[in-house]
Amino acid sequence: MSGTAPGIGDITGKRLLIVGASRGIGLAIATRAAQLGAMVHLTARSAQAAAGTAAALAATAGAQVTGHGLDIAAADATARLDAVLQATGDLDALIYNAGVSPVYARPEHITDAAFDQIMTVNLRGPFLAARAFGARCLTQGRPGAIVFIASVASLIGTPRVAAYSASKAGVLGLTRSLAVDWATDGIRINAVAPGWVATDMTQGLQDNRHLHDSLTARVPMGRFAQPDEIADVALFLASDSARYVTGSVYSVDGGLLAG
């Protein structure tokens, strides 16, 4: 399968680097991209997980997929990113999905270590990846697209996730600033802000019937999103169909912010 799908621009032959793609939303993005004929380079913290995911996608989608180990929280993350970019060669788009799940606690109970870990992966990581990708685009004189996976928690006050919300709000600031800095260089930067998504990260919420029902009651569409519904928007933003879109945040939340 290649070409376009409803709501997605043509990404056939596009060379994508998806950071954090061994499960959940990242895996859905990689799967959808491979099905539509993109050349997919994906990362996971474990090189073994990345290689296994890439092999499975290549077999099922009949696409070119490579896997790379990348621990974005490592002290030498910049060097590791450079190694991945060297291995992938030329790229058209970067999609940053790697993230640490929220620590569900009142602010006074969030430890320094937990706060630092969330900020390192959820905010420092996107900056490092965007800086490395953007620098290559500038050196090569070629356009590019960057898509960050943020969260509606960056847009509304959400109890017991102060560190997570702050990290994702930082991603929105990064999105807008980079978009202005690189607009004339042909590098577009946008973000997707999902609401509740049915992934392993939210499995505990889904399994708790009372909590699940109270959360979906706030969503006009009355359900969690499926990962592929987030993937479709991310891939649209990575495609040429979004060539005049930059500095934007797309909420994919079933109407949560509107309700």
Residues taking part in catalysis: 164
Question: Residue 119: is it exposed, middle or buried by C-beta count within 10 angstroms (0-12/13-18/19+)?
Answer: middle
Give backbone dihedrals phi and psi of 110, rounded to 5 degrees, phi first. Answer: -80, 120
Per DSSP (E only), the strands in the chain are 15-19, 39-44, 65-69, 93-96, 144-149, 187-194, 249-252
User: Among 165, 171, 84, 166, which Cα is nearest to 123's?
Assistant: 171
DSSP string computed for 225-246: BPHHHHHHHHHHHHSGGGTT--
> How is the chain split among helix, strand and coil, in percent rounded to 5?
50, 15, 35
What pairs with residue 68 in β-bridges?
43
What pairs with residue 182 in β-bridges?
none
125-140 vs 77-88: helix crossing angle, rounded to 10:
40
C-alpha span between 62 and 59 (Å, rounded): 5
Q: Map tokens 């993109």 to a residue.
A: 38
122 secondary structure, DSSP code: I
Q: What is the pairing mode between strands 39-44 and 93-96?
A: unpaired
